């Protein structure tokens, strides 16, 4: 089984042109020892307990089987002695033994040629080493025109983060390197601030990733380092021992499962980096809490309990940089100012479990919500209801028949919305003043769609990364679709002209349907604005 559960893009220009290979030196050993001390000590204690239990069982049962075991051992020893007689190992180290006797098992060693210096050995040359190093360096090179795509994958119960290089001009995508993870990845968020030992002040530029998994700890990894053994930092209870390496170890205690103000105690479902206050990372969890982390100290700065069920999605307002949007399985959405945790935050209600929330990047007064029953809600944040059950969205769209597990708003082209569902369809929408209309619906062969994300750069603004239950990542250049060009050519004049449709992936995509404007596989949907959505604005 292989599936990709989450993806995100890295903007151009942040990845190091030549990522460095991991070096396990004394400093790194000390760092890992401190970070992993709790896990190592726990493992040692478990091993000691298991060994002690085994000794007790052996002692209790030894008297009954002692004589039988001794007889078996004697018989086995005699058989082994007979097998080894021909090698005469008793006289193996005797000085008077001839070369033919002592070295017989190693063959004809007299004909071997030994070189006193490496320079004299034709098979070991400095030139050869330099060529290999240059080849390795070229293989790792990332160009300024390349994007990175990060994908959390689970395959045969092994979890890892794959770092892809997407070469737009060459229509190519490949795995650059991967990172082993402790559990199934659920959230992947790119960070532009160095953390851990690489931290270098608030003005420094970095290329890091935060990964939330089924475990409660959040791991932070340096994307410019290849073959790392351990994360650069951990946010959560797993890092509490980092400063106490010299203190005596107390008896192991089970990790707390009770929600608290310092760390998550259940799966991390969503992550959101604050692009204005770059040291702040928000996380939401199945433990019903939202945590605000300071990446400079790698400690939890504040904990919030706005919801009564799992908090599945969080997003920072692109303008009001301290306002965090959160959606929950309690079927409510909250927009709270993190500076005023005690103030009553505006709250909206929806008809089923929330899947994802997103602000409109082109108008920060509005936000989108996707739900488990295939609905998209569009709300005005300035018009919060006094009672969440009386919520009225600006418009409501039945986008899919099944859960909308992921959606994204294009950061470059206003009104361009992509939705992905467990019905295996990816749909593109044109959001206008009159309401939303479907542009195209496609099955890109990724199975149930778990992630749909637009590229962040102007040059590749129409590229959409799609991934799902079949473990494939596809990059769809939506600008090559005729229906997309017709819908958005007035906003992006350079789209005019004929192009062949382009989808780039590691494997050839299996496209089961290609439904354009005015057509649909789902009865009741339409490319126009007259059906499929309902205006709720008075």
Residue 50 has pLDDT above 60, yes or no: yes
Q: Residue 283: beta bridge partners? A: 271, 291
In this structure, are residues 165 and 148 in contact, taking their beta carbons and an 8 Å threshold? Answer: yes
What span, in angstroms and rounded, lies between the C-alpha atoms of 187 and 16? 23
Residue 164 has pLDDT above 80, yes or no: yes
Residue 245 has pLDDT above 80, yes or no: no
| pLDDT on residue 116 | 53
Please indicate whether residue 87 or residue 244 has the higher confidence score (pLDDT). Answer: 87
Please indicate whether residue 525 or residue 375 has the higher confidence score (pLDDT). Answer: 375
Grouping H, G, I as helix, E, B as strand and the rest as coil, residue 73 is helix
Please indicate whether residue 471 or residue 43 has the higher confidence score (pLDDT). Answer: 471
Task: Pick from 60-69, 357-366, 511-520 the range whose average pLDDT is largest.
Answer: 357-366
Strand locations in 124-245, DSSP E? 147-155, 158-167, 172-180, 185-191, 208-213, 218-222, 225-226, 233-235
DSSP 76-140: HHHHHHHHHGGGTGGGTT-TT--HHHHTGGG---TT----SSGGG-TTS-HHHHHHHHHHHHHHH
| pLDDT on residue 54 | 81
Q: What is the per-residue pLDDT across 291-329, written as a single tens digit (0 to 9) for each?
A: 999 999 999 999 999 999 999 999 999 999 999 999 999
DSSP 274-313: -SSSTTEEEEEETTS-EEEEETTTTEEEEEE---SS-EEE
The upper half-sphere exposure of residue 100, i.e. CA atoms within 13 Å in the direction of its Cβ, equals 0
What span, in angstroms and rounded, lies between the C-alpha atoms of 260 and 248? 25
Please indicate whether residue 536 or residue 456 has the higher confidence score (pLDDT). Answer: 456
What span, in angstroms and rounded, lies between the C-alpha atoms of 301 and 291? 8
| pLDDT on residue 162 | 97
| pLDDT on residue 462 | 94
What span, in angstroms and rounded, lies between the C-alpha atoms of 444 and 510? 6
Q: What is the per-residue pLDDT across 252-271, written as a single tens digit (0 to 9) for each?
A: 445 557 889 999 999 999 99
Confidence grade of residue 31 (pLDDT, cut at 50, 70, 90)? low
Q: How many percent of the chain have pLDDT more than 70?
A: 71
- Least trusted range by pLDDT, from 12-16, 245-249, 300-304, 376-380: 245-249
| pLDDT on residue 58 | 74
Confidence grade of residue 524 (pLDDT, cut at 50, 70, 90)? very low
Residue 60 has pLDDT above 80, yes or no: no
Identify which of 350, 354, 347 has the alpha carbon closest to the alpha carbon of residue 387: 347
Q: Across residues 213-223, what is the average pLDDT? A: 96
Confidence grade of residue 106 (pLDDT, cut at 50, 70, 90)? very low
Residue 68 has pLDDT above 80, yes or no: no
Mean pLDDT, all residues of the chain: 82
In this structure, are residues 281 and 273 in contact, taking their beta carbons and an 8 Å threshold? Answer: yes
Task: Give the tokens for residue 367.
Answer: 């936000």
Cβ atoms within 10 Å, residue 401: 16
| pLDDT on residue 533 | 66
Confidence grade of residue 78 (pLDDT, cut at 50, 70, 90)? low
What span, in angstroms and rounded, lies between the C-alpha atoms of 343 and 248? 43
Q: Residue 432: beta bridge partners? A: 435
- Least trusted range by pLDDT, from 75-89, 126-140, 151-165, 346-360: 75-89
pTM passes above 0.75: yes
3-state helix, strand, coil in the chain (%, to 5): 20, 35, 45
Please indicate whether residue 481 or residue 137 has the higher confidence score (pLDDT). Answer: 481
Q: Across residues 95-102, what is the average pLDDT? A: 48
Q: What is the per-residue pLDDT across 334-363, written as a single tens digit (0 to 9) for each?
A: 999 999 988 899 999 999 999 999 999 999
Q: What is the per-residue pLDDT across 362-400, written as a single tens digit (0 to 9) for each?
A: 999 999 999 999 999 999 999 999 999 999 999 999 999
Q: Is the torsion defined by CA of 268, 270, 271, 274 positive or negative?
A: negative
Cβ atoms within 10 Å, residue 329: 19
Task: Pick from 1-15, 117-131, 190-204 the range whose average pLDDT is largest.
Answer: 1-15
């Amino acid at each position: 089984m292989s599936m990709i559960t989450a993806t995100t893009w890295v903007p151009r220009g942040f990845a190091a042109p030549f990522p460095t290979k991991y070096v396990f030196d004394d400093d790194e050993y000390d760092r890992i020892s401190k970070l992993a001390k709790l896990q190592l000590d726990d493992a040692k204690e478990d091993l000691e307990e298991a060994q002690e239990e085994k000794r007790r069982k052996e002692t209790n049962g030894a008297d009954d089987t002692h004589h039988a075991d001794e007889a078996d051992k004697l018989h086995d020893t005699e058989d082994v002695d007979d097998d080894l007689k021909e090698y005469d190992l008793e006289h193996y180290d005797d000085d008077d033994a001839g070369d033919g006797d002592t070295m017989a098992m190693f063959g004809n060693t007299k004909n071997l040629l030994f070189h006193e210096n490496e320079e004299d050995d034709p098979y070991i040359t400095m030139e050869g080493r330099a060529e290999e190093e240059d080849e390795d360096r070229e293989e790792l090179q990332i160009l300024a025109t390349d994007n990175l795509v990060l994908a959390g994958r689970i395959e045969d119960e092994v979890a890892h983060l794959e770092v892809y290089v997407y070469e737009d001009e060459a229509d190519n995508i490949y795995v650059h390197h991967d990172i082993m993870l402790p559990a199934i990845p659920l959230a992947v968020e790119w960070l532009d601030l160095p953390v851990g030992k690489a931290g270098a002040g608030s003005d420094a530029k970095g290329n890091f990733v935060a990964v939330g998994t089924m475990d409660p700890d959040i791991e932070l990894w340096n994307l410019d380092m290849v073959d790392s053994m351990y994360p650069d930092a951990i946010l959560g209870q797993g890092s509490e021992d980092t400063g106490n390496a010299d203190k005596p170890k107390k008896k192991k205690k089970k990790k707390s499962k009770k929600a608290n103000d310092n760390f998550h105690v259940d799966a991390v479902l969503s992550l959101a980096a604050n692009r204005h206050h770059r040291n702040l990372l928000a996380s939401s969890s199945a433990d019903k809490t939202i945590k605000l982390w300071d990446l400079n100290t790698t400690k939890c700065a504040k904990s919030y309990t706005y919801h009564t069920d799992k908090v599945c999605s969080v997003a920072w307002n692109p303008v009001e940089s301290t306002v965090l949007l959160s959606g929950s399985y309690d079927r409510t959405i909250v927009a709270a100012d993190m500076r005023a945790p005690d103030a009553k935050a505006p709250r909206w209600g929806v008809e089923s479990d929330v899947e994802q929330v997103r602000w409109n990047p082109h108008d920060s007064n509005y936000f989108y919500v996707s739900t488990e029953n295939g609905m998209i809600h569009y709300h005005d944040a300035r018009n919060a209801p006094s009672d969440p059950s009386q919520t009225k969205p600006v418009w409501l769209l039945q986008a899919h028949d099944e859960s909308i597990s992921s959606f994204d708003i294009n950061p470059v082209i206003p009104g361009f919305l992509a939705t992905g569902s467990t019905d295996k369809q990816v749909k593109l929408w044109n959001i206008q003043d009159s309401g939303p209309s479907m542009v195209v619906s496609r099955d890109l062969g990724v199975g149930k769609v778990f992630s749909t994300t637009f590229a962040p750069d102007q040059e590749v603004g129409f590229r959409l990364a799609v991934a799902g239950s079949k473990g494939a990542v596809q990059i769809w250049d939506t600008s090559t679709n005729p229906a997309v060009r017709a819908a958005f050519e007035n906003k992006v004049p350079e789209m005019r002209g004929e192009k062949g449709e382009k989808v780039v992936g590691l494997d050839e995509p299996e496209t089961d349907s290609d439904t354009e404007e005015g057509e649909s596989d789902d009865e009741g949907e339409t490319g126009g604005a007259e059906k499929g959505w309902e205006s709720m604005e008075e």
